[in-house]
Structure 1
Amino acid sequence: MAKKKTWKEMSPSGKAGIILVAIAQVSLLVAAQRDISKRPAAMINGPKAAWRAASFINFIGPVGYFTFGRKKPGAAGSHPESRGAQRL
């Protein structure tokens, strides 16, 4: 089994790659958390707390939330106009 390299032993391009992946992960996490906070519960599939917790799973959580957790804008029952509110 190969010995794992420490940070000091890594090449500059290897360090840059890890930093870029970390930035992407944190960006997805922040975007998912902000969207969950601002989106009404009626526009989310399932409980907000469950999606908030799931979004902390690396890449899979935020991508899963953006793919499956948000209701589509035109989905039946998800828009205020489709719940009986009349537009003037």
Structure 2
Amino acid sequence: MAQKKSWSDLTPTQRKLVAAAGIVEVALTAWCARDLKRRPSDQVRGPKLLWVPALSVQPVGPIAYLVLGRKG
């Protein structure tokens, strides 16, 4: 089994990639949460209250909301 790398074991390029991915993930989740809050219920597939916890499942939740959760 491969041993986990610590932050200090990563190269500077790998650190930048991890940081960039984290920023994209947070931004995407925030954008989806804002969209969900502003979008009328009749334009969301399923109950809006069920999409809120789904957005916390990274990175699947926000992508699922964009692909499956929004109508129109």
Whether TM-score is above 0.5 comes out as yes
| Residue matched to 1:5 | 5
DSSP-derived class of the 1:71 partner: coil
Cα distance, 1:40 vs. partner?
0.9
Unaligned residue ranges in structure 1 (runs of 5+): 73-88
Cα distance, 1:46 vs. partner?
0.6
Cα distance, 1:9 vs. partner?
1.8
Deviations 1:50-71 (A, max 9, x none): 1111111112111110111111
| Residue matched to 1:71 | 71
Q: Which amino acid aligns with 2:15?
A: K
TM-score (norm 1): 0.76
Alignment of 1:41-52 (within 5 A): 41-52=41-52
| Separation in 2, partners of 1:53, 1:70 | 16
TM-score (norm 2): 0.91
Q: Which amino acid aligns with 1:59?
A: P
| Residue matched to 1:17 | 17
Q: Which has the higher contact order (CA 8 A, sep 6+)?
A: 2
Moved over 3 A (4+): none
Comparing both structures, which one devotes a greater share of its residues to helix? 2
Deviations 1:25-47 (A, max 9, x none): 11111011000110111111110
DSSP-derived class of the 1:35 partner: helix
RMSD of aligned residue pairs (Cα, Å): 1.0
DSSP-derived class of the 1:5 partner: coil
| Separation in 2, partners of 1:53, 1:29 | 11
